[in-house]
Structure formats: structure tokens, C-alpha cells
Structure 1
Amino acid sequence: MKVKVILPITSTIFNEEVVQEFEFYASPDTEIGMTNLSVGPESIESEYDEALCLPDFLAKAIAAEEEGYDAVISDCFADPGVKAAREVLSIPVIGPGEASMLYASSLASSFSVVTVLPNVISMIKNVSKLAGLDCKLASVRYVSIPVLEVQDKERLVHALYAEMVRAIEEDHAHALVLGCTGFLGVASELQERLKDAGYEVPVIDPAFASLQLAESLVTMKVKQSRLTYMTPPSKKRTM
């Protein structure tokens, strides 16, 4: 199968690591394609950023289906453009935020998300509400590190670990979700550190979760329901 990963940002600083991570996670018969936006925000840290990314994301998602891809992933935890793309595509469209929350909710009675900045807390809560999982969301915490600075892994892991411990002890989270797809390659280390400290809880990587869900849906030969995601009415639309 072929899965297209669309980074809904113009920055290319994550490209190499994104390709490496997705190819590592992918099944042997899965081909990964990746692209950035041509126009839009450098990163997504607000509703404004998300709105700016949508037109080009949708254009690239439509192009991916025309190129023969079997599924599309919007590689941002806020799941920008996912629901709109589901209306116009006939292949599964996956959001890492929704996917990782679904996995977390299947493993624990409650979960917390640890993300980048306070600006995105309401966006993440909206993802949980739309997925019907807000009743299991214990909290959304943040590390005060902008998206474009998360490549400092030592600083990132230290900050994430501290907030995860607080989420467990203060918010009663039984599972933890990394709340940014830029948090690459740290889930296993954090899970082991928490286990060593006496907290045996799952830590969900949103990129990994989104790919696993995409592969499962393609293998099952199912896609989004047309009763939920109806094809938009035919009309003139000026972009």
C-alpha cells in the first residue's frame, strides 16, 4: 500500500526525520510518500495557523489520491484539514491527534496530552471532543517549547518527563499522549523512564499511531462513512 504523509507546514526542518520515522514504523509492503505545503504557516501553533494551512493541504491531499495513494495522514496533532478532506477523498484520511487518543483510550480509563505551548490547548481539547473522547481526557499539559525548537531532544525529553509525572500524580492520567508530531523518537525513552520511576503506563507517539491506523483501515478495505462525511454539493468555489 501507499501512504502519503502531508506536513501541513512550510518548514522543512522535520522532513528527514519524519521520513525516517515513518519508514521505520511502516510494514514491509507499505510505501511512504511525504510532502510539505507550498504556501501556509511555518508551523501550527494556533487556530489562525491552522486556517492558513487548509487550502494547500486539501489540494495536496486530493493530488495524493489522484497519484494512487491508499491513505493520507495530516501530520499535525491538531488534525488540520482531516474532516474536510474526508468529504472529498475516497481513501482514508487520518489525523494523528484523533488516532493517538483512540489508542490511549483503549489502553486506559484516562489519558493526558503533553504538548508544546498553551496556545494549542483548546485545539487539542476540540480534537478530543470531536472524537468523543473528552470524557477520558484528564488534562492537556505543555512544555513551553515552540514547535520549531523541539529538535533539542535533551531539553525536550526533560520537559516532557516532568509534565508527564505531574499528569499522572496530579491529574490522575493512566496513559500519556505526545501532543505534537514533532516529538519524534522520544516515546519509548519516556515510557521506560516512567516505568523505572514506578509508573507503568503507555506513552503514545501520534505519528506511529496515525500510520498504524492508516495501514489497518487500508488492509480492512474501509474508509470514512459517506453518511458522516458527505460529498460537498457541486458549486463554483474560488480559491
Structure 2
Amino acid sequence: MSMKICLVTSAEGPRLVHRQQWLQVLMQKQIVSSDTELEIVNLAKHTHSHRAYVEGLYFELLQSAYNVEAVLQAQKQGYDAAVIACYFDPGLEAAREVARIPVVGLAEASMAYASLLAKKKRSIAIIAVAEKGVLKTYDVIDKYGLTEQLISNRPVRHIPLEIYGAAGTSGKAADVKVAVNEYIKVARECIKDGAEIVITGCAGLGPMLAVEGVFDIDGVPVMDPVSVAVKTAESLVDLQKLGLKLSRKLMYRPPVSEDISIKERAHFGFV
């Protein structure tokens, strides 16, 4: 049975191109099943400045609502699952509450999968973009109760947003090379401090590195969170055939009927 999975993203220009290129590779190399379709769904509204989103708490909050709405629109359009393409997992729990399809976040999926590839405690490092992005990443991992899986010394580090921004905005080979080299330098510092696996904590940088063939640094796996999240979404759809679905017992129990939910969304201008 065919399956359609969408990547919900605010990316534009070369940053979007890297995502599109990598999704094509996942399908061409049959990393996903041959009858699984991967497509991009763009947000109706998003920040114009990448820095506003990566470093802004308020702007992330604003955009989170549009992530949820994009998931609901994807569901309406017949997608079987959705991946929210941001490592902060903005709007993930809210989307799960109101959507009927599986919704996957990059941080949650990558951390869960990394624990299968390295020892359970003090083995994982994450490389984010932007200094404030480091703090936001810590908050996400702590919320999931997975902090103990991280290496002890500075487990979340970053490459400068200016370096990633130049590569993501221009798409020029020279700029991409600078970003890749900076990432490798930071990754080696993490490995020196005990990392057995390095996760790329960015939905744009992960595919960029994957397109450039960076999957291993000095014998340590480098994880693209987009690939892992897509495979997780695919697995969740398949496991529904066994009746294994999102628990609606309490946390993700819809607070109101679907009719009232539509009225509430309309009140806020989303319908």
C-alpha cells in the first residue's frame, strides 16, 4: 500500500533545495519503501529572518501555530504522516493532539534512535546553529527527559549562524564547504570529549551535510535528523496496522469535538 509523508518546513531558496535533494535521495536509494512518497509542505506564514526563528522564543511560538495548521492541512490533503522540520520540535505535541495522522519531531526521533546506536548514557553530542540555538536545544532535550544520554562536557555545541546562513542562503559550493569544515571541526571536539554519535541539530544543516556525503567523522556516526524522522514516520504508519497508535488516554486526548475545534481555529483566523 502506498504511503505519503510530508516534511513541514519554512525553508526557502537553497535551504529548501537541500531538503528537496535529500528527500529525492531517500526515495531513489529506497531508504524509504519504494511506494513511499516524500513531499514538502510549506508554512502559510513564517518569519522572514532565519535568525528571528532560530534565536527567537516569541517568533518560534508564533510560527508553531502555523506548523500545527500545516499538519492539519496535510492530513486533509491525504498525507499519512507529517514531520515537523525544525530541531526544536515546535508545535509537535499540539499537532499530535489535534491531528489524526502520526506527527514526528526531529529532536525526539533522533535522540530516540541515537540511543540504539550508542550506549544509553553520556554518549551523544548535538551540533546546532547559533549560540542561542544551543540553549533552545538543551530545553527540548530536557523536556523529553533525555539529558542523561548527552556527553558530560558541553554536549550541545554550534557552528556560527553566519556560516550556516551563508551556505544556506547562497548555496555556493565555497560557502557550503566552509560550513561543512566548521561542522567537522566542532564534531571532532565533541568526539574528543566522549561523543560516540553526533546529531546534527538543524533541519537544514542535516540534509546539507548528507548531500555532501558527511555520514561519519573519525569513525563516529553523524546523524541527519530529517532522515531518521522520515523513517520513524514511515514506521509509525506501518505499525498502525497492528493497532499500535498514539495514546489518547489523557495527554493527547482532544479537549473538544472536531466541530468545536474548527470553530475555535476559525476564531483565531486559521479556517
TM-score over 0.5 for the pair: yes
Match of 1:57 in 2: 67
Contact 1:103 1:204 in 2 (8 A): no
- Which runs of structure 2 are paired with 1:67-86 in the superposition (5 Å)? 67-86=77-96
CA–CA distance in structure 2, aligned partners of residues 210 and 13 of structure 1: 21
Alignment coverage as a number of residue pairs: 232
CA–CA distance in structure 2, aligned partners of residues 150 and 116 of structure 1: 12
CA–CA distance in structure 2, aligned partners of residues 10 and 128 of structure 1: 23
Q: CA deviation at 1:12?
A: 4.2
Contact 2:89 2:107 in 1 (8 A): yes
Contact 1:10 1:40 in 2 (8 A): no
Match of 1:87 in 2: 97
Letter in 1 for 2:7: V
Letter in 2 for 1:154: K
Q: CA deviation at 1:142?
A: 0.4
Contact 2:44 2:70 in 1 (8 A): no
Hey, which bits of structure 1, 4+ residues long, moved more than 4 A? none
**Residues 126, 158 of structure 1: alpha-carbon distance in 2 compared, 3 angstrom cutoff:** same
Match of 1:219 in 2: 238
Match of 2:17 in 1: 16
Q: CA deviation at 1:49?
A: 2.6
Match of 1:201 in 2: 220
CA–CA distance in structure 2, aligned partners of residues 144 and 98 of structure 1: 24
CA–CA distance in structure 2, aligned partners of residues 149 and 101 of structure 1: 28
Match of 1:148 in 2: 165
Match of 2:196 in 1: 174
**Residues 225, 17 of structure 1: alpha-carbon distance in 2 compared, 3 angstrom cutoff:** same
Letter in 1 for 2:135: S
**Residues 203, 113 of structure 1: alpha-carbon distance in 2 compared, 3 angstrom cutoff:** same
CA–CA distance in structure 2, aligned partners of residues 16 and 186 of structure 1: 13
Structure having the higher helix fraction is 2
Please, which runs of 5 or more residues in structure 2 have no aligned partner? 27-31, 169-174
Give the share of equivalent positions with the same residue, in percent.
31
CA–CA distance in structure 2, aligned partners of residues 94 and 208 of structure 1: 12
CA–CA distance in structure 1, aligned partners of residues 126 and 183 of structure 2: 10
Of 114, 117, 134, which aligns to 2:147? Answer: 134
CA–CA distance in structure 1, aligned partners of residues 213 and 202 of structure 2: 16
CA–CA distance in structure 1, aligned partners of residues 5 and 60 of structure 2: 22
**Residues 230, 186 of structure 1: alpha-carbon distance in 2 compared, 3 angstrom cutoff:** same
TM superposition score normalised by structure 1: 0.89
Higher-Rg member (1/2):
2
Match of 2:132 in 1: 119
Q: CA deviation at 1:128?
A: 1.3
CA–CA distance in structure 1, aligned partners of residues 114 and 89 of structure 2: 16
Q: CA deviation at 1:10?
A: 6.0
158-167 vs 17-26, which moves further: 17-26
Q: CA deviation at 1:189?
A: 3.8
